[in-house]
Structure 1
Amino acid sequence: APSGGSARIDEGKQGVVDKAWPVLDAEAEPGFAVLRGLALHKLLQMLPGIAEPERAGAAERYLLRTGADWPPSEREKALASVTSILADPGFGQLFAPSSRAEVAIMGSLEVKGKKRSISGKIDRLAVTPDTVSIVDYKTNRPAPASLAEVPPAYVLQLALYRALLQPLYPGRTVKAALLFTEAPRLIELPASALDDALARLTGA
């Protein structure tokens, strides 16, 4: 899976697994940060399909159900974060009617001489006549201030998505970015960084 691909970059080195992440450790009790992140992902998935005047009310109802045990201040922060993202003109294309949420993707790549099956889910996919934009949501606290502070695993995750999408959209530029919901901050990943991350994994 792209979200765990970094464990294969350096063979012989043991990957570090976050025990609070339920996808990697099904028996672990999800921490608050994980639950909050899942709620923000769900809101960013659902709200763009709801008429703008009704979004705030829908978000509040959802957070009251999902975050019933959260401190009220945390529900307010989550609502403010999602509201500011959807209201930001700079993010407009990502949530346009032509964009899609939770796009499943699968394919195969050659990794160090072996064909590997890859599957994952793109948080947001926006396609225009010239460009394909991949966006993955992250809930890091605090959010990285620049590309230099972005964990390498995140870059690799989007490099894998990009590699799978490029053959499907010939003639279009496939761009990738990380949307850190806490700031909120969109950090675009240069093609060179994506190429380097993929080369390290594949041995190219």
Structure 2
Amino acid sequence: SEQSGVRGVAPSSFLGGEEADFEPPVLSPLADPGAHRFRRGDVIHKLLQTLPDLARERRREAAERFVAAQPDFSDADRQVMIEETLGILDHPDFAPLFGPGSRAEVSLVGRAPDLPGNVIVRGQVDRLVVTDSEVLIVDYKTNRPPPEDVAAVAKVYIGQLATYRALLRAVHPGKTVRCALLWTDAARLMEVADEVMDAVLDGATA
């Protein structure tokens, strides 16, 4: 309410100024002959949404069936998409995100000590799992060109993760919160280090 000064905001708003609204452009099908790369990212995104609900031993067969039904891809393309997607699901550090007890499209609402006082943040993470010692989250980026490394990631994305991390630390005190971005166009899982998120959040709230 206005009296308490509380306002609901999206995680990206902590970047302030012009950068709060800046997000790298979505890949245009016009710049993508045959919309091949555009569709490839969508196929991988769909696999990442559906395969985690299956037992690990059933995932490859389901992926092959789904990808075989997609038109205009060569057999080699299909095989690469399957291997890349299964590689993400079996990632040594983030496999729990796609295993039993993990959750998809989790809404996060609340305050946190690391964030400005009279602000309630509302956001959603694509995938989350809470283990005995850690909270792991991943945010999917589809149809956006994947950067080569974390240093080239748009600050708006880092700021979103930093905000989610702050909320989850408040809910799960004592647990390590680890965050990653997943670029579906390249099937690339990219962990974002604490110090990278700290720098963006410090700059936004200073």
> Which amino acid is 1:11 matched to?
G
Residues in 1 aligned to 2:131 and 2:80: alpha-carbon distance in whole angstroms: 32
Match of 1:98 in 2: 101
**Offset from partner CA, 1:92-150 (integer Å, 9 cap, x none):** 33323132222222235798786354222x12212122211112233577643432222
Higher RCO by CA contacts (8 Å cutoff, separation 6 or greater): 2
Matches for 1:35-54 after TM superposition, within 5 Å: 35-54=39-58
For structure 2, which runs of at least 5 residues remain unmatched after alignment?
A: 1-9, 29-34
1:39 alignment partner, SS class: helix
TM-score normalised to structure 2 length: 0.70
Scaled by the length of structure 1, what TM-score is found? 0.70
Kept after mapping to 1: 8 A contact 2:25/2:144 = no
Give the Cα separation in 2 of the matches to 1:15 and 1:32. 28
1:1-204 equivalences in 2 (<5 Å): 1-2=10-11, 5=12, 9-11=15-17, 15-16=21-22, 20=26, 33=37, 35-65=39-69, 67-68=70-71, 70-72=72-74, 74-107=77-110, 115=119, 117-120=121-124, 122-139=125-142, 143-181=146-184, 184-201=187-204, 203-204=205-206
Instruction: Indicate how the Cα distance of structure 1 residues 199 and 43 shifts in structure 2: closer, same or farther if over 3 A, else same.
Output: same
Any conservation in 2 of the 1:81–1:181 contact (CA below 8 Å)?
Answer: no
- Contact 1:108-1:118 within 8 A present in 2 as well: no
Distance 1:106 1:42, change over 3 A: farther
Compare 56-65 and 162-171 and name the one that shifted more: 56-65
Number of residue equivalences = 189
Per-residue deviation, residues 175-196 of structure 1 (Å, max 9, x unmatched) = 2122344555433222222122
Say whether the 8 Å CA contact 1:130–1:172 is kept in structure 2.
Answer: yes
In structure 2, do the counterparts of structure 1 residues 32 and 189 end up closer, same or farther at CA, with 3 Å as the change threshold? same
Gaps of 5+ in 1: 23-30
Given residue 138 of structure 2, which amino acid in structure 1 is its aligned partner?
A: V
| Partner SS state of residue 97, structure 2 | helix
Percent identity between matched residues is: 40
Q: Deviations over 1:4-28 (max 9, x none)?
A: x26x624256844666489xxxxxx
